[in-house]
Amino acid sequence: MKGVLSRIGIGSATVDTILPTDTVRAGDSVQAEVHVEGGSTDQEIDAVYFALETEYKSDEGYKDAIVDQWQLTEPFTIEAGEKRRFETTIDIPRETPVTTRSTAVEIETGLDISMAIDPGDEDYIEVEPTHRTQAVFDALDSLGFSLHSSSCEASAGSLFTTSATFVQEFEFRPERGEFTGQVDEVGLVPVFDDDRLTLYLEVDRSAGLLSEVTDADERHTTLPIDDSDPEAIEPRLEARIRELS
């Protein structure tokens, strides 16, 4: 009877991932401990696995997305009441979304058990931008722009050179400086390809009601980012925004 109950999750083994911090930077790694505790009966564990998850907006509504997933262990048996501990390194991909009020990221740890409900553990983490993306944000701040909103959305294959199913867009508005009154908004999408970062940049101009209605006030461009120095990025970003405003 205990075996039957464990297959439906009652008295089954449990898993818990312990992170040293809940704040990580995209592109970095974090050490973690995984604790597995046996339930009321012996169980065959096919694998301990991880999934890095978020969600994005599509035409059909919000969808779950797996940023990355990987397996920690080979099959093993966990005896009733037994406790096991595994140490591992979790790599946070560069394309992991930056967490904001509207974007959440979690690490899901699961036990793969055949013919049974997989026990799991969920840990929400705060993801900071990569160093190069942060340098872009710092350059925009120097130009007088402040982050207004951010969202993950289904990628438009005709626009973005990426195989990802979604991208994260950041929208900045001018609060001071020369672009106040000239630009309504600057939208940017960072896309990583190998070791390169490409910004897909959209400038929404303050061009009057007719242009707003027809979307003629929006212009697009791309900008490769090869370093993490805000002072080097700022004049290039300023020139592109000026060209499109």
| Nearest C-alpha neighbor of 69 from the set 44, 48, 55 | 48
User: How many CB atoms neighbour CB 36 within 10 A?
Assistant: 22
The parent domain of residue 149 ranges over: 131-244
User: Could you tell me if residue 221 is inside a domain?
Assistant: yes
Do 48 and 150 belong together in one domain? no
Average pLDDT over residues 21-26: 95
Do 142 and 223 belong together in one domain? yes
Do 118 and 212 belong together in one domain? no
Instruction: Please give the torsion angle defined by the CA atoms of residues 109, 113, 119 and 120, in that order, rounded to the nearest 10 degrees.
Output: 10
User: Could you tell me if residue 7 is inside a domain?
Assistant: no
Do 80 and 182 belong together in one domain? no
Which of 25-34, 151-160, 210-219, 224-233 is predicted with the least confidence, judged by mean pLDDT? 210-219
Do 63 and 152 belong together in one domain? no
pTM of the model: 0.85
User: Could you tell me if residue 89 is inside a domain?
Assistant: yes
Do 137 and 233 belong together in one domain? yes
| Nearest C-alpha neighbor of 35 from the set 70, 69, 79, 83 | 83
User: Could you tell me if residue 193 is inside a domain?
Assistant: yes
List, in sequence order, the alpha helices (H) in the chain. 2-7, 131-142, 209-214, 230-244
Single out the residue in 109, 128, 147 at which a domain terminates: 128
User: How does residue 206 score in pLDDT terms, banded at 50, 70 and 90?
Assistant: low
Do 117 and 135 belong together in one domain? no
Do 101 and 28 belong together in one domain? yes
Q: Give pLDDT, residue 28.
A: 96
User: Could you tell me if residue 3 is inside a domain?
Assistant: no
* Residues 166, 179: Cα–Cα separation, whole Å: 30
Average pLDDT over residues 16-41: 93
Quote the percentage of the chain above a pLDDT of 90: 68
Do 164 and 224 belong together in one domain? yes
User: Could you tell me if residue 2 is inside a domain?
Assistant: no
Quick: pLDDT tens for 73-127.
Answer: 999 999 999 999 999 999 999 999 999 988 999 999 999 888 556 678 999 999 9
What is the count of structural domains for the chain?
2
Do 92 and 138 belong together in one domain? no
Do 79 and 173 belong together in one domain? no
Single out the residue in 100, 128, 156 at which a domain terminates: 128
User: Could you tell me if residue 6 is inside a domain?
Assistant: no
* Residues 149, 217: Cα–Cα separation, whole Å: 19
Residue 50: which CATH number? 2.60.40.640
Do 147 and 171 belong together in one domain? yes
Single out the residue in 128, 156, 185 at which a domain terminates: 128
Tell me the sheet residues that pair with 69. Answer: 51
